[in-house]
Structure 1
């Protein structure tokens, strides 16, 4: 009795190791046909493996069609010196997506020397089913410019649908001295199927380049919160405004813009002005609740951008996480300019007040108590969180949020409010994430 192909596929899903899945292809031709799409659906490669994978895909296009999720990392690896990089038959392909003759010659020469970025560009042209890419590299003289040309010109003259199915990109560098300029990654916003853009190590020190029409990108989620490594000197306005229906925006600030050269402090007003273009769709806003908000000591030009604005007209907003002094528009003052009820939308379900300092207790408590007294103004509110800036850690413990504690005095001060929340069916708690000051005891 023969088993249905679906049963074979269910069995293969129990194999976590990709090498085991690839071994199934060697059993017989029938199994090769059944298991190939699953075995190659998700591929992870480092620098030395990019060329072999590209060659394999060229020799067997079915493998290229099967690959939907590609992860590439050469931050910690380099291509291995070889003398047999085969570029025969690639010249015509390079011309389809290349630019000037000099650029094509440089690209071809880089292929011959095994440059991983040059071979990545060739590889991606053969992945007609690609849906997600995770990229870990800093220098991209060939791949990113190719994305720019494809995005700007549809698909050029390529016979395959290069990058057209791409839905998700996760791109960052883990070397704090390296960075991308924001406009280098903007072409991903042009691609027709894109939904999620995640990036780390972006510097927006370059002036805004109006190269994408407002409200045209299909991206629904922008995640710039990775490890607090981004610096949005212009509020990432071009990214935000380009979106037709942005639903999730996460940004965590790093005062360092260009390592050892340029420092820019958090400018919330620039983000607010851009986010106003998404009042109709934004559902989750995490704006520097875990990033740096303090004075860098280098930037003197940010005071006029310290303000923020009301979120009351963001009618789809469900989750809000941001520094309380930003939300209440303290600016350079020690008093707020607005109240929570003035700036929060009735749709809100979760409120996180980050970077809380004990000297702000009276202001915060008064605002929270007023919110409870006028519960009908926020009928959907389910949870309130306080994220203290100062936390406690036992001396000698590993510096990790799991070992951090909220100060006893902070917990005690909010006990009455906690009880009041319980009576109204609202959860109350503390968050220990993000940038903080530690006291060891």
Structure 2
């Protein structure tokens, strides 16, 4: 019996299926449906261990059309399981694997080392072997270890168009990349001791050289300008305005030099989000002025800026006493495309040595601003901030016509102090889990002004819900 619908129509129906289980059901309807819809199953691939990776590699080597069907690869849930002797033998004796390793490897020694690491279930070895086959990949989500030599190596070869990337441009369709560092994947000292930042920065930087990539998300990145890399790992210097990336999101990272090598390489950076962490060995503390210098290249294009969103700061860092994290970022008035700003109060206004900032908030904000989220407001500074914001709202019509929402976050939760001055959990006579009444009272004039101007105002304590 002939199908009533042509293949083109059936494929359009299949494209509307979001659940992978539904795609599998279509595959098993008939041989015709199997051939027609099998590629849909391979559009979004999630690999969790060596068995998944081995089966997937065998499938795409045996049927290259399936490799071309892959649009998203998710490696975030990888588990480095130990292999039995029989399982290792199965890997080392695989004909398909041997043939592909012969194509990818640049020497017999490398081939042997790669085979050994595959047999140990190491994620970066499997990932580096699979990635060159996925020519139509759009989205990549990778978990990586402190030392990920195979991923480093394959990405270096990609940007240098070395084997196996000789016949076609590497990752020509890749648009979005997420890199997640996981200590539990560390391999020990197999490849020799390395500093933690080397893998993060060297693995990240090659993606800035791929012309199709637009979005980068990564964590545990130490500023590439700080990194000291070996010659075989050194990436080409990124020129100013060279990269097509428009969105950067760096979490739990340390930008001692404002991530200058990354930020300045972007020709049209629209979104930059940065969360600082002093937990890295080479961290010298958060230095906002360094980010001001690096982001100056993007004053005309940047639309979203998050600086140090809920970052972590230690009293002492490798650079000594950690005082620089309270440094003023500088005026944002020249960032003429900026619509969303999230920043800590000491970085928004210069209040290190005085109660009132020498440069008022009115002169620090761009006229394009739509939402303003201020973090880290101490209770003693709330009155000053309310006063500064009232001036902004008063001039909203002429200076900030698009401003429609303000958020203020700080340590506003109810706590009580013992007689000796030590802070303890609130007792039954004080309501727990709420923002203090006097905080609401201090913010009430601003609330009235916002209401009259048709704006939204929210107070936050990071340990509580939004009020």
Superposed pair shares fold, TM > 0.5: yes
- Report the CA distance between 1:6 and its aligned residue: 5.8
Note closer, same or farther for the CA distance 1:230–1:177 as it changes in structure 2 (3 Å cut): farther
SS of the residue 2:75 aligns to: strand
1:389 is matched with which residue?
Answer: 411
2:217 is matched with which residue?
Answer: 198
Q: 1:407 aligns with which of 427, 436, 459?
A: 436
Q: 1: distance between equivalents of 2:102 and 2:242?
A: 29
Task: Note the alpha carbon deviations across 1:42-68, whole angstroms, 9 max, x for none.
Answer: 011112211111111101111101110
- Report the CA distance between 1:406 and its aligned residue: 2.8
1:400 is matched with which residue?
Answer: none
CA contact (8 A) 1:47 1:79 kept: no
- Report the CA distance between 1:417 and its aligned residue: 1.1
CA contact (8 A) 1:233 1:264 kept: yes
CA contact (8 A) 1:219 1:246 kept: yes
Instruction: Verify: 1:352 aligned to 2:360, yes or no.
Output: no
Q: 2: distance between equivalents of 1:95 and 1:332?
A: 64
Instruction: Verify: 1:292 aligned to 2:312, yes or no.
Output: yes
- Report the CA distance between 1:363 and its aligned residue: 1.8
Note closer, same or farther for the CA distance 1:279–1:365 as it changes in structure 2 (3 Å cut): same
Larger radius of gyration: 2
2:250 is matched with which residue?
Answer: 224
SS of the residue 2:276 aligns to: coil
SS of the residue 2:142 aligns to: strand
SS of the residue 1:354 aligns to: strand
Q: 2: distance between equivalents of 1:332 and 1:26?
A: 71
Instruction: Verify: 1:173 aligned to 2:181, yes or no.
Output: yes
Task: Note the alpha carbon deviations across 1:238-263, whole angstroms, 9 max, x for none.
Answer: 111111111001111111113xxx55
- Report the CA distance between 1:89 and its aligned residue: 5.8
Matches within 5 A, 1:140-159: 140-153=148-161, 157-159=165-167
1:236 is matched with which residue?
Answer: 259
CA contact (8 A) 2:240 2:267 kept: yes
1:417 is matched with which residue?
Answer: 446
Instruction: Verify: 1:250 aligned to 2:273, yes or no.
Output: yes
Q: 1:265 aligns with which of 285, 288, 294?
A: 285
Aligned CA RMSD, in angstroms, stands at 3.2
2:418 is matched with which residue?
Answer: none
- Report the CA distance between 1:313 and its aligned residue: 0.9
Q: 1: distance between equivalents of 2:182 and 2:122?
A: 20
Q: 2: distance between equivalents of 1:176 and 1:290?
A: 24
- Report the CA distance between 1:11 and its aligned residue: 5.6
Using the size of structure 2 for normalisation, the TM-score is 0.81
1:54 is matched with which residue?
Answer: 57
Task: Note the alpha carbon deviations across 1:332-386, whole angstroms, 9 max, x for none.
Answer: 6555332111111111111111111110023212211211222211122111111
SS of the residue 2:157 aligns to: helix
CA contact (8 A) 1:87 1:112 kept: no
Note closer, same or farther for the CA distance 1:100–1:240 as it changes in structure 2 (3 Å cut): farther
Q: 2:39 aligns with which of 37, 40, 45?
A: 37
Q: 1: distance between equivalents of 2:279 and 2:184?
A: 9
Q: 2: distance between equivalents of 1:174 and 1:43?
A: 20
SS of the residue 1:385 aligns to: strand
Note closer, same or farther for the CA distance 1:104–1:212 as it changes in structure 2 (3 Å cut): farther
SS of the residue 2:264 aligns to: helix
Q: 2: distance between equivalents of 1:392 and 1:3?
A: 66
CA contact (8 A) 1:303 1:332 kept: no
Instruction: Verify: 1:283 aligned to 2:303, yes or no.
Output: yes
2:340 is matched with which residue?
Answer: 319
CA contact (8 A) 2:315 2:321 kept: no
SS of the residue 1:158 aligns to: coil
SS of the residue 2:90 aligns to: coil
1:134 is matched with which residue?
Answer: 141
Q: 1: distance between equivalents of 2:395 and 2:205?
A: 43
CA contact (8 A) 1:125 1:160 kept: no
Which deviates the most, 384-393 or 204-213?
204-213
Q: Alignment length, in residue pairs?
A: 424
Q: 2: distance between equivalents of 1:294 and 1:143?
A: 32
Task: Note the alpha carbon deviations across 1:286-310, whole angstroms, 9 max, x for none.
Answer: 1113223563466426656733211
Using the size of structure 1 for normalisation, the TM-score is 0.85
Stretches of structure 1 lacking an aligned partner (at least 5 in a row): 398-402
Note closer, same or farther for the CA distance 1:87–1:177 as it changes in structure 2 (3 Å cut): closer
Note closer, same or farther for the CA distance 1:96–1:220 as it changes in structure 2 (3 Å cut): farther
Instruction: Verify: 1:18 aligned to 2:23, yes or no.
Output: no
2:241 is matched with which residue?
Answer: 215
Note closer, same or farther for the CA distance 1:117–1:208 as it changes in structure 2 (3 Å cut): closer
1:28 is matched with which residue?
Answer: 30
Which deviates the most, 237-246 or 104-113?
104-113
